[in-house]
Amino acid sequence: MKRLSWLLLLAGALFCSGIAQAKPTATPLPGNSVYQLKATLVDATGRPCKWAEFRGQPRIATMFYSSCPYMCPLIIESGKAIDKSLTPAERARLGVVMVSLDPKRDSPAALTALARKRGIDPKRWTLLRPDPKDVRSLAAVLGVKYRALADGEFNHTSVLILLDADGRILARTETIGTKPDPEFLIAVRKALAQRN
């Protein structure tokens, strides 16, 4: 009787183990997803994260640096202009990721200070500091050109990039300012209307 109970227990454990192993894994990323890039970042709270963690909802992505006196504040205002043009329900389905070009100076404290200064919603906007070795690769997958200048500033593409939930680039705009690019806004709304 003890042997039969033991065999039934073992068979049950093996059966449950087989069920656990048979669970489907996450859907693989499409080949043209920016999240294919293996990059490590830190958010404004100091939490380490992987680039692929941002999969799951449409997002606007851009690159910036917190000490930028000119274009980066305008990039932020451009993202906020898109936000203001959306309904509350649309806004709730859209994330924003801003990746620093200057990881040496953009510590979590610097990112937090920028978010506070610019009135950035930390629930939906994520400011990220990449590992220095990943900056060029992140810029490449997002199509952002940049170069460091002797005075510590950067020349860089001022752009908003719309990503679908799987990290495929749907649209880009270099129209920066307080009025959103109408075509980009249409693309954002279309992405938000699609069910994943």
What tens digit of pLDDT does each residue of 129-163 get?
Answer: 999 999 999 999 999 999 999 998 999 999 999 99
In a domain, 28, yes or no: no
At 53-68, the pLDDT tens digits run 999 999 999 999 999 9
Indicate yes or no: pTM above 0.95. no
In a domain, 17, yes or no: no
In a domain, 2, yes or no: no
In a domain, 125, yes or no: yes
Secondary structure of residue 127 in the 3-state scheme: strand
Q: What CATH number does the domain containing 80 carry? A: 3.40.30.10
In a domain, 181, yes or no: yes
Secondary structure of residue 125 in the 3-state scheme: strand
Question: How many domains is the chain partitioned into structurally?
Answer: 1
In a domain, 6, yes or no: no
In a domain, 1, yes or no: no
The one-letter amino acid at 172: R
Phi-psi region of 174 (alpha: psi -120 to 50; beta: other; left: phi over 0): alpha
Q: Which domain holds residue 73?
A: 33-193
The whole-angstrom separation of Cα 132 and Cα 64 is 14
The one-letter amino acid at 64: F
At 87-97, the pLDDT tens digits run 999 999 999 99
In a domain, 12, yes or no: no
